[in-house]
Amino acid sequence: MLMASPLASLPKEWQIWIEENLARSCEPSSMADVMVRDGRFDPRLAYAAIEQARGAPVRQSRPPRQHQALPEIDTSANTVLAGDRVVDILLSLKAPRIVLVGKLLADEECDALIHYAETRLERSPVVADRDGSNELTAYRTSRGAMMQRSETELVARIEARLAALVRWPVENGEGMQLLRYEKGNEYRPHYDWFDPAMPGPRKHLERGGQRVGTVVMYLSDVEQGGGTSFPDIGLQVQPKKGSAVFFANTDSFGEPDRKTLHAGEPVEKGVKFIATKWLRAGEYR
Ligand SMILES: O=C(O)CCC(=O)C(=O)O
């Protein structure tokens, strides 16, 4: 139920913001978009307040965006039960949503994954913008092994643990990627979400929808370099065997979040081994 005066129910600075932008002849529906971004205001309130201020209806440019469920970790305490294991919560950021967890994997699990991958490694590809095929590029120089979901008993166990951790169905996960970076290897800044404006990435959206979340699990320590960095927010995560970084690739409306730009920094000394798990909005077959 909306108030008698939607405009008056807004904080003063937003009332002024509406008046000033209307005076500047801003597009009312774009103003409403700004007001509802990141869940700031209910769309009905935003539209009603702008309509009241201008004394005329606002034609909606598109249906108001709906909040979407996303993978999420309970960070209300310093540990969380993730299925068969209690995991440490080490760092939590709200926007973009990033959570660093410790003790996700036992040392023996990390070693077993590395051992399994060692004989299967191939140069890691990226998705080509033009047609969605796999292509090799100088900005991703690791080697890796693509796993099927539940490919081994260990992989199935870790997938079930991850599903419990991020409260997201196992069926929405892509197969794990085991990646090895040697000295100088890196993955330069990139997004994990598929850009719907590009024909290649758009094709990948047909299978399971957007990549709404990523979990990078560190299977080894690295002597120097090799951090996972988020250049636009100044965050760097140092690999620590058994720990992991989770991030949501979209905002709460399911729109790609540009603040999730991230990179695997060049390894300077030692070898970096990770397992990456990408989580889709829907079931991934
Ligand atoms: O190597 C890293 O630390 C990050 C890996 C990554 O960006 C990815 O797999 O999407």
Express each pLDDT in 123-155 by its tens digit.
Answer: 999 999 889 999 999 999 999 999 999 999 999
- State the virtual CA torsion across 277, 145, 259, 93 in degrees, nearest 10: 40
3-state class of 19 per DSSP?
A: helix
What's the mean per-residue pLDDT of the chain?
94
Q: Please count the helices (runs of H) and the strands (runs of E) in the chain.
A: 6, 17
Ligand 1 atom closest to residue 227's alpha carbon, by position in its atom list: 3
pTM summary value: 0.80
Q: How far is CA 68 from CA 33, 206, 250, 270, in A?
A: 16, 18, 10, 41
Residue 72, amino acid: E
226 pLDDT band, cuts 50/70/90, is very high
Predicted local distance difference test score (pLDDT) of residue 61: 66
260 DSSP 8-state letter: G
Report cis status (omega within 30 of 0) of the bond before 96.
yes
Is the distance from the beta carbon of residue 277 to the nearest atom of ligand 1 less than 6 Å?
no
Q: What is the mean pLDDT of residues 91-120?
A: 97
Radius of gyration of the chain (CA): 22
With CA atoms as reference, report the closest residue to 34 among 16, 46, 20.
Answer: 46
CB 165 within 8 Å of CB 159: no
Least confident among 58-67, 73-82, 97-106, 212-221? 58-67
CA-CA distance, 276 to 219, in Å (whole number)?
10
* Residue among 182, 216, 217 to mutate when testing ligand 1 (max atoms within 8 A of CB): 216
Concatenated DSSP letters for 27-46? -HHHHHHHHHGGGSS-HHHH
pLDDT at 229 over 60: yes
Is the distance from the beta carbon of residue 192 to the nearest atom of ligand 1 less than 6 Å?
yes
Q: Report CA torsion sign: 171, 174, 178, 179.
A: negative
Residue closest via CA to ligand 1's atom 10 equals 192
203 DSSP 8-state letter: H
* Bigger pLDDT: 62 vs 272: 272
- Residue 128 C-beta-side C-alpha neighbours within 13 Å: 8
CB 201 within 8 Å of CB 195: yes
How many Å lie between the centroid of ligand 1 and the Cα of residue 82? 22
Residue 162, amino acid: L
CA-CA distance, 222 to 140, in Å (whole number)?
18
Residue 206, amino acid: E
CB 90 within 8 Å of CB 227: no
If one counts every other C-beta atom within 10 angstroms of the C-beta of residue 233, the result is: 14
pLDDT at 3 over 70: no
Is the distance from the beta carbon of residue 264 to the nearest atom of ligand 1 less than 6 Å?
yes
Predicted local distance difference test score (pLDDT) of residue 24: 86
% the chain with pLDDT above 90: 80
